[in-house]
Amino acid sequence: MEVVIPTKNDYLYLQRIIEILEEIDSLNFIHIIDNCSDILISEKIRKIANLFDNVIYYFGGKLGKGNAIKLGVSQTEEDVLFLDADIENLSKDKLLSLINKFNEGYDLVKASFVRANGQSNSSFVLNDLRKLFPDLRISRPTGGIYITSRELLDEINIPNSWNVDLSILLQAYKLGFKIAEIDIGILVDKPRSGNSLSESKSCLKQEIFNFGGNKNGIRSY
């Protein structure tokens, strides 16, 4: 299993995250995708990546989390664990619970969690999601912590935009892949600005209705 960590200007907890990942034997290469960070911060991210033999740094020239995820996936050959770069309290136990669930035979395992700062995009879209996809029992559809099988990654279209995490889930569901969710507890991460939350909620809602109105579920990006 490989790891993809997209980041834009988040580096304060990156070294600690990598050190925790290094403790898990089943994880191989760690791909750090710098999604157009500020120049000085990019250099800090690069230096952190260079501290580790199995960590590879990439600078993605196209803005958008989807572009970062797409670049990271293109460099992998195995199943992939996706992580956010701003998690303050990530632990080995949290990751192992996610990995162990995936090893039960799922193609996509999403992490369910509570943000210590109380923010959530998922709660905004849950009602619409459950109306359109009543069998999809996921409480954190927009979360950025999850594991995907290689087979799933080879079948889906990864969008360029930041709502990539929701899109991957909906495509997996539409294609009939086996999906699960596991609670990893409370996460401490960077609070989002009011404007960022408002924009993201609008885009997420549109994404759900795009998929709900398309019986095939797969669009060209």
Confidence band of 201 (pLDDT split at 50, 70, 90): low
Domains of the chain with CATH codes: 2-212 (3.90.550.10)
Q: What is the 3-state secondary structure (H, E, C) of 64-93?
A: CHHHHHHHHHHCCCCCEEECCCCCCCCCHH
pLDDT at 196 over 90: no
Asked if 122 and 192 count as a contact pair (C-beta separation under 8 A), the reply is no
Task: Provide, rounded to the nearest whole percent, the portion of the chain with pLDDT above 90.
Answer: 65
Cβ pair 111, 180 in contact under 8 A = no
What are the tens digits of pLDDT across the range 128-168?
A: 788 888 898 898 888 899 999 999 999 999 988 778 998 99
Per-residue confidence (pLDDT) for residue 202, from 0 to 100? 65
What global pTM score does this model have? 0.89
Contacts for 50 with CB less than 8 Å, ≥ 6 apart: 57
Residue 36 has pLDDT above 60, yes or no: yes
The mean pLDDT of 52-59, rounded to a whole number, is: 97
Q: Kindly report the average pLDDT of the chain as a whole number.
A: 87
Q: What percent of the chain has pLDDT over 70?
A: 85
Per-residue confidence (pLDDT) for residue 200, from 0 to 100: 57
How sure is the predictor about 216, in pLDDT bands with cuts at 50, 70 and 90? very low
Which residue type is seen at 180? A
